[in-house]
Amino acid sequence: MHGATKSTVDSNDLQRFLDIATEAALAGGAQLTQYWGKLQDIQEKGRPGDLVTEADKASEKAILAVFRRHLPDHPILAEESGQIGVAEGPLLWAIDPLDGTTNYAHQYPFSSVSIGLLVDGHPRVGVVFDPFRQDLFRAATGLGATLNRQPIRVSATARLADSLLVTGFAYDRRETVDNNYAEFCHLTHLTQGVRRGGSAAMDLAYVACGRLDGYWERGLSPWDLAAGVVLVEEAGGQVTAYDQGNFDLRSGRILATNGHIHSALSQVLLKVKPFTDFQAIALDE
């Protein structure tokens, strides 16, 4: 499939890629289970709170070994290793070996392995694996979405007031007013609640299976979003930019919902003004 064009990636190819991504996600998840509670080396990658551990690295190593065995010529964008191979064709894998590293490092069990395939820049295959609950989310364009091999659908919640939402805060939230705090507070008052999970891939998977009704966030990377976007779309949900325009993976911003509350949530996000006078309080160490 290396060098393939859009017309040559058919449903059989997507099914094969989905199965390979599943094998890789399970291999990565096994490493996360092995390292759980045993971390010895937790480092910051540059920005405060942006962590990497030996579990991230071991998971990515196991994932990449599966891809080398099955799809050695496919280019990969991995969180820890960066770009692997030349992305000159329409296919690119986006891999996060541990989405929710901060949670994992604190032994807060809400993390996942996320593996997505971009075809001509748009997510077409997605696998998100939660090693703690053994929840395996899978989807591919035209093939539907499943949780542990059973079909899933987004929720039927029709009103924002009845919804449960989720969001997150970017690593640069300390330096920018574009930090999502105002939206979080405002929507907490308009809905039944807003959660902050700490794993974008899991947040999207939960929208896909109806556990949550909507999700928005900014400051994200392709490996955070690629797999989850496919899950939501194939489960009957809607994924766009904040203003309901076409979703752009490169923007780092996403609005994903069950579809029913999409317009209402978009309108709120466009109206809320940021906390321009927010200042962090320095704590004595």
Sheet containing strand 254-257, edge to edge, reads: 193-196, 164-167, 214-217, 254-257, 238-240
* Within-domain flag for 241: yes
pTM: 0.91
Q: What is the CATH number of the domain that holds 79?
A: 3.30.540.10
Same domain, yes or no: 147 and 186: no
How many other β-carbons are positioned within 10 Å of the β-carbon of residue 148? 11
* pLDDT tens, residue order, the chain (285 aa): 344 444 489 999 999 999 999 999 999 999 999 999 898 877 776 555 567 789 999 999 999 999 999 999 999 999 888 999 987 899 999 999 999 999 999 999 999 999 999 999 999 999 999 999 999 999 999 999 999 999 999 999 999 999 999 999 875 655 666 788 899 999 999 999 999 999 999 999 999 999 999 999 999 999 999 999 999 999 999 999 999 999 999 999 999 999 999 999 999 999 998 776 655 544 454
* Within-domain flag for 282: no
CB 250 within 8 A of CB 279: no
DSSP symbol at 38? -
Tokens of 182: 């105002």
Same domain, yes or no: 147 and 209: no
Number of structural domains, the chain? 2
Same domain, yes or no: 58 and 147: yes
How many other β-carbons are positioned within 10 Å of the β-carbon of residue 111? 29
* Within-domain flag for 132: yes
* Within-domain flag for 204: yes
Q: List the end-to-end C-alpha distance of the chain, in Å, as a whole number.
A: 55
Q: Which domain holds residue 23?
A: 6-151
DSSP symbol at 273? P
Using CA atoms, how far apart are residues 160 and 40, in angstroms rounded to an integer?
A: 44
The three-point CA angle 77-202-113 to 5° equals 45
Q: Give the CA radius of gyration of the chain.
A: 18
Same domain, yes or no: 66 and 132: yes
